[in-house]
Structure 1
Amino acid sequence: MKFEPLSQRIDYGVDAPGAVRNLLLLGLTGWALWAAWLLGPADHPLVIRLSGFVLLAEALVVLAALSILFTAGGVWMLWESRIGKLRRRDRLLSLIDWHGGEQVLDVGCGRGLLLIGAAKRLTSGSATGIDIWQKEDLTGNHAAAAWNNIRLEGVESTVDLMTCDMRRMPFPDASFDVIVSMAAIHNIYDKQGREWAIAEIARVLKPGGHALIDDIRHLDQYERVFAQAGCPLSERFESKAFRVFVTVVSFGLLSPGVLKVRKTA
């Protein structure tokens, strides 16, 4: 089923909007406390409370450092959502040797970023996107928003969408030549659930087909499960400098990378 377009503007949304909001609020709170200490009057309640600490200077340095990290993290996530992920999509899809007739699956397609990028590389093939459209994962995350982008990008005849759980896909074995996923599988919070999702990707991938998984954590787990399912690693792509930056601003919560696997015949 297709939906009426929502707008005349292509919009792939802001990823993890709750996390962006929280990081920016924490950063602003830290800066406000720091400014209150520096600019407030001597009898300000905050000054009176803090002046009793022996390590006041060290505390202010820590507060400033945390404010910088929180603010940088929020700003980076906004930049990544609006600009960075568009560039990363093109780099990711260039890792596939496209022939034009592929059957493509985007797992956790959201508002259609990878799905549409893949569809534009097809001539006689088709691309299918699946999602359960969780609002906390992406602003405006809904099939209607994806269809709006699909229409505006001019790939309606090549693309289809389905609402389904990546842990239980309704496709026969060996249905797709290429399977892609960007920042989606980590949203399954239990380890067993992520393993089911990877096993399902391996199941519906054709022998000789490739899967590209771009995610912000759990890459080692994905690689292990793929190998067990007959999809050994072809390549793993990680920028050490970028990974260090993301690890620092996320306080060790994120460790991004890309896996490319190929299903053995």
Structure 2
Amino acid sequence: MTTHSPDVRRRGDYGVDGDFGVISARWQGVILAVIVAALIALTVRYLVVGSLVGALVTGSSTLGLVLFIGSYLYTTRVGKFEVWSRILGDLRLRGDEQVLDLGCGRGALLLMAAELLPRGRAVGIDLWQADQTGNTPAATRRNAEREGVADRVEVETGDITRLPFADNTFDLIISNLVLHNLPSAADRRAALDEAVRVLRPGGRLAIADLLSTDRYRAHLRELGLTDVQRRNLGPRMWWGAPWFPTRLVTATKKT
């Protein structure tokens, strides 16, 4: 049985998480830098003219924005790897499982799982939208090579509400911050239905997301899964602030 956790020190390039469909990551960074610089300049100006209230307001705003940006970057570049390493390690995989990552992106979670499957297979599926910088199948395959797990990884292009896999195919289904991107509650339910369909009896789900995780828990119970749990993953997966936490829903399919 594989009981160790995957290494949090990654060799691949996993980009930055975010919504870049309208404004690119580079331009979002430029805009934030300009706002911070403007707030700092305004704070200095208030101090020069002796307006302590104005300096307090703009200075506090600057500090809050800098902390928000720092927390967000920490989560996307470091925190999510630390948290998922613990989650995957706690699953105590044997090493021969078939694992599916819903919305695998550049492979951050997919390849951590693959590291624990020397005799198994990790499959990632995605539509490769602009919710991560440089999000392409080729980028994921390059990362698999860099992590030394390319021989046990497959990458598919497809819709998670209509999975192209047979019933009872996978031992474990994982997903990180994907389902909330689906356009409707019906689509999110369909994605859960499909996940349960392709999950083998006795198989497990571990789905992390920002929104609607209480509904995920309720729907999985309606589908007959057991040991359905939901928990907050803590500050290492805050997306800028405590009011943007990530929660994990776990469940097991009946045998």
Q: TM-score, normalised by structure 1?
A: 0.79
Deviation at 1:17, TM superposition (A): 5.8
Over 3 Å counting, the alpha-carbon distance change for 1:60 and 1:41 in structure 2 is: closer
RMSD in angstroms over aligned alpha carbons?
2.9
Question: How far apart, in 1, do the equivalents of 2:220 and 2:29 lie?
Answer: 34
Aligned match of 2:72? 77
Over 3 Å counting, the alpha-carbon distance change for 1:232 and 1:62 in structure 2 is: farther
Aligned match of 2:175? 181
Aligned match of 1:90? 85
Aligned match of 1:117? 112
Aligned match of 1:16? 18
Deviation at 1:40, TM superposition (A): 7.2
CA contact 1:174–1:206 (8 Å) conserved in 2:
yes
Aligned match of 1:39? 45
Question: How far apart, in 1, do the equivalents of 2:242 and 2:53 lie?
Answer: 20
Amino acid at match of 1:13: G
Q: Please identify the structure whose Cα radius of gyration is greater.
A: 1
Over 3 Å counting, the alpha-carbon distance change for 1:41 and 1:106 in structure 2 is: closer
CA contact 2:83–2:233 (8 Å) conserved in 1:
no
Indicate whether 1:258 and 2:248 are aligned.
yes
CA contact 2:40–2:62 (8 Å) conserved in 1:
no
Indicate whether 1:25 and 2:31 are aligned.
yes
Q: Pick from 210, 231, 236: which aligns with 1:216? A: 210
Deviation at 1:11, TM superposition (A): 0.5
Range that drifts further, 219-228 or 229-238:
229-238
Deviation at 1:246, TM superposition (A): 3.7
Range that drifts further, 180-189 or 12-21:
12-21
Secondary structure in structure 1 of the residue aligned to 2:151: coil
Which aligned runs of 4 or more in structure 1 are off by greater than 6 angstroms? none
Aligned match of 2:155? 161
Deviation at 1:236, TM superposition (A): 2.9
Aligned match of 2:5? none
Aligned residues: 241
Question: How far apart, in 2, do the equivalents of 1:234 and 1:220 lie?
Answer: 11
Over 3 Å counting, the alpha-carbon distance change for 1:112 and 1:33 in structure 2 is: closer
Secondary structure in structure 1 of the residue aligned to 2:99: strand
Indicate whether 1:192 and 2:186 are aligned.
yes
Aligned match of 1:51? none
Deviation at 1:102, TM superposition (A): 0.7
Amino acid at match of 1:200: E
Secondary structure in structure 1 of the residue aligned to 2:104: coil
Deviation at 1:23, TM superposition (A): 7.8
1:193-213 per-residue CA deviation (whole Å, 9 max, x = no partner) reads 111111111111111100111
CA contact 1:209–1:262 (8 Å) conserved in 2:
yes
Deviation at 1:150, TM superposition (A): 0.6
Gaps of 5+ in 2: 1-10
Amino acid at match of 2:125: I
CA contact 2:129–2:135 (8 Å) conserved in 1:
yes
